[in-house]
Amino acid sequence: LYEKDKALGGQLKSAATPDFKSQLRELVEWYKRQLELLNIEVHLNSEINEDNPVLKDADYIIVATGAVPIMPEISGIENAVDIISAHIYPEKLKGDRIVYCGGGLSACDSALETAQKGKKTVIIEMLEHIAANDHFINRAALFPLLSKYGVEIYTNHTVSEIKKDGVKAINIDGKEVFITADTVVSSFGMKPYNETAKKIDEKYHLKTRIIGDCEKIRKVGGAVREGFYAALTLD
């Protein structure tokens, strides 16, 4: 197993920062222990590309390079902190009013975690609902907590510009509003990180399988299941 970072866990290192996600943190520790028990060779700080000789010698290659945050070409996006950094480096969330652009599950989680630490958080979402694509059980658990911790929510608002002191958004009536912020977080979702995966697949097509978020953005359950199926197909 080759991991380019200094630790295992991938996106779970950021996904599992809130207290209410302690079970995801435990999952990473569980995997580390299983890898140890099974004597699996783990190489950290080891970024693999298509020219690495280990790939030539391998009987099978399973590529799971994951995903990276979407940073759309909105004016001022460079003023925003991306959602992964918002989770891992809370010190980047400067000031008392933190505005999240995009209201998917990861933004809701981070906004809640930050509000629980005493900051005012705001979510701007262009759809009619936040966490719109998530399971109703997640939503049922999340919504009362967002309300309890005073997270301000603007649905039907499309972010049009990010400034150092806030966000311009267009509401459902086409009117521009300005929402002030000390820090803006870009939480527009994730996209597959698959450049290397495609090159490896091109070079070693017959023995390569691409799984997890690198193939298509999904959740932990889907990524794990796909890894399991990939392993089942090995001779």
Binding residues for ligand FAD (CB under 6 A): 2-5, 10-12, 14-15, 21, 47-48, 64-67, 83-84, 87, 105-106, 109, 190, 193, 196, 212-214, 218-221, 223
Spell out the residues 6+ positions from residue 225 whose beta carbon is closer than 8 angstroms to its own.
none
Kindly tell me which of 168 and 197 has the beta carbon lying closer to ligand FAD: 197
Minimum distance from CB of 223 to ligand FAD (Å)?
4
Strand 120-124 and strand 166-170: pairing?
Answer: unpaired
Provide, rounded to whole angstroms, the least separation between the CB of residue 118 and ligand FAD. 21
Cα–Cα distance between 16 and 175 in angstroms, integer? 37
**Least distance from C-beta 177 to ligand FAD, angstroms?**
26
Assigned token pair, 144: 């009362």
Nearest to 74 by CA among 62, 66, 82, 64: 82
- Of 5 and 202, which CB lies nearer to ligand FAD in the complex structure? 5
To the nearest whole angstrom, how small is the minimum distance from the Cβ of residue 205 to ligand FAD? 18
- In the complex with ligand FAD, which residue's Cβ is closer, 21 or 203? 21
Q: What is the DSSP letter of 77?
A: G
Nearer to ligand FAD, 163 or 219 (CB): 219
Measured CA to CA in angstroms, residue 139 lies from 21, 74, 110, 228 at distances of 14, 28, 14, 28
Q: How far is the CB of 19 from ligand FAD (least distance, A)?
A: 13
Q: How far is the CB of 110 from ligand FAD (least distance, A)?
A: 7
Beta strands in the chain (DSSP E): 61-63, 67-69, 81-82, 97-101, 120-124, 152-154, 158-163, 166-170, 176-180, 183-186, 190-192, 208-210
Of 70 and 170, nearer to ligand FAD (C-beta) is 70
Which CB atom, from 60 or from 193, has the smaller least distance to ligand FAD? 193
| In the complex, least distance from residue 65 CB atom to ligand FAD, rounded to whole angstroms | 4
Nearest of 229, 225, 231, 189 to residue 68 by alpha carbon: 189
Specify the residue, 106 or 121, whose C-beta has the smaller distance to ligand FAD.
Answer: 106
Q: H or E segment at 231?
A: helix 220-232
Which residues are registered as beta bridge partners of 214? Answer: none
